[in-house]
Structure 1
Amino acid sequence: MSWIYLIIAGVMEVIAVYGMNRAANKYKDGYIVMPIAFGISLILLTLAMETINMGVAYAVWTGIGTCGSAIMGMIVFKESRDWRRFLCIGIIVASVIGLKLVS
């Protein structure tokens, strides 16, 4: 169950970043989405860390948030889709997997 909490926490992090972008572009709904999603994300991360090591849990959470936000930016906000961005996302994913494997 902890891994499910952790994955949902990462997805909520991406939703919170979406809210942050909306707020930065003067949409009032962003000010509602952002704190709710960040709050849910942190609560679920805390629950996940009851059984998953802190270093692994935090790496997975930030990895989902970072990669998910970059991909969302490319799809939703039409940001650059340069191959180097995909390479960097791949490096982040490989690093998180590697950290899990050696823990």
Structure 2
Amino acid sequence: MAWVSLVVAGLFEMFGVAMINKLHKDRNWQAFVLLVAGFGASFLFLAHSMKTLPMGTAYAIWTGIGASGGAILGMVLYGEPKDSKRMFFIALVLGAAIGLKLIS
């Protein structure tokens, strides 16, 4: 269950990052509320997962999901570059997170 909470925390982290971009574009209170809610939920699920998982592993995977997911969202939703070097390094981040899961 801790791993599910950790993945959900990472997904909320991605949502929060997307809301930062939306807030910069729209400058409205709804985007701000969604940003706070996304990051708040992310921290709650991360804290829940850390009751069972080691802090270093949980934090590394949480940041990996958030960082790579944010980069992917930027490419898909906001037209950021999709070159092969970016994709390679995103794959490295995800591969490292999967590796940590396999050895934990």
Query: Into which bin does the TM-score normalised by the smaller protein fall?
Result: over 0.9
Contact preservation (8 Å) 1:18, 1:30 = no
Gaps of 5+ in 2: none
Structure 2 residue aligned with 1:72: 73
Note if 1:56 corresponds to 2:78.
no
Identity of aligned residues (%): 38
TM-score when scaled to structure 1? 0.92
Deviates more, 1:63-72 or 1:89-98: 89-98
Aligned residues: 103
Amino acid at match of 2:18: Y
The superposition leaves residues 9-48 of structure 1 with CA deviations (integer Å, 9 ceiling, x where unpaired) of 0000000011100111133122111111100000110000
Gaps of 5+ in 1: none
Amino acid at match of 1:19: M
Contact preservation (8 Å) 1:20, 1:34 = yes
Amino acid at match of 1:62: T
Aligned Cα root-mean-square deviation (Å): 1.2
* Distance across 1 between alignment mates of 2:10 and 2:65: 5
Structure 1 residue aligned with 2:18: 18
Q: CA deviation at 1:102?
A: 4.5
* Distance across 1 between alignment mates of 2:8 and 2:98: 18
TM-score when scaled to structure 2? 0.92
